[in-house]
């Protein structure tokens, strides 16, 4: 069961991918709590931005530079 509260927040966080992830994690029951207009916005917001997390840099430092990742 997944309970997914959706509230007004920065538009860059209200993406179709986030909604899809919540829906696909629910095996038997999905409860979405939120404003229908926000959910409609998420459905239409298919904007995928490149994420600059710095994860690769952190992993390389952690492993002493001995990490091979597909870039």
39-53 pLDDT, tens digit each: 999 999 987 666 677
Percentage with pLDDT > 90 across the chain? 45
pLDDT of residue 41: 94
Nearest to 18 by CA among 27, 55, 38: 38
- CA atoms in the 13 A half-sphere facing the CB of 47: 8
Residues in contact with 26: Cβ distance below 8 Å, sequence separation at least 6, in sequence order: 1, 2
Residues of the chain with pLDDT under 70: 48-51, 63-71
Whether the pTM exceeds 0.85: the reply is no
């Amino acid at each position: 069961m997944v309970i997914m509260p959706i509230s007004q927040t920065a538009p860059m966080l209200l993406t179709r991918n986030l909604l899809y992830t919540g829906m696909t994690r629910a095996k038997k029951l999905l409860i979405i709590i939120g404003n229908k207009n926000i959910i409609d916005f998420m459905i239409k917001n298919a904007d995928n931005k490149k994420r600059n997390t710095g994860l690769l840099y952190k992993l390389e430092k952690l492993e002493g530079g001995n990490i091979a990742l597909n870039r």
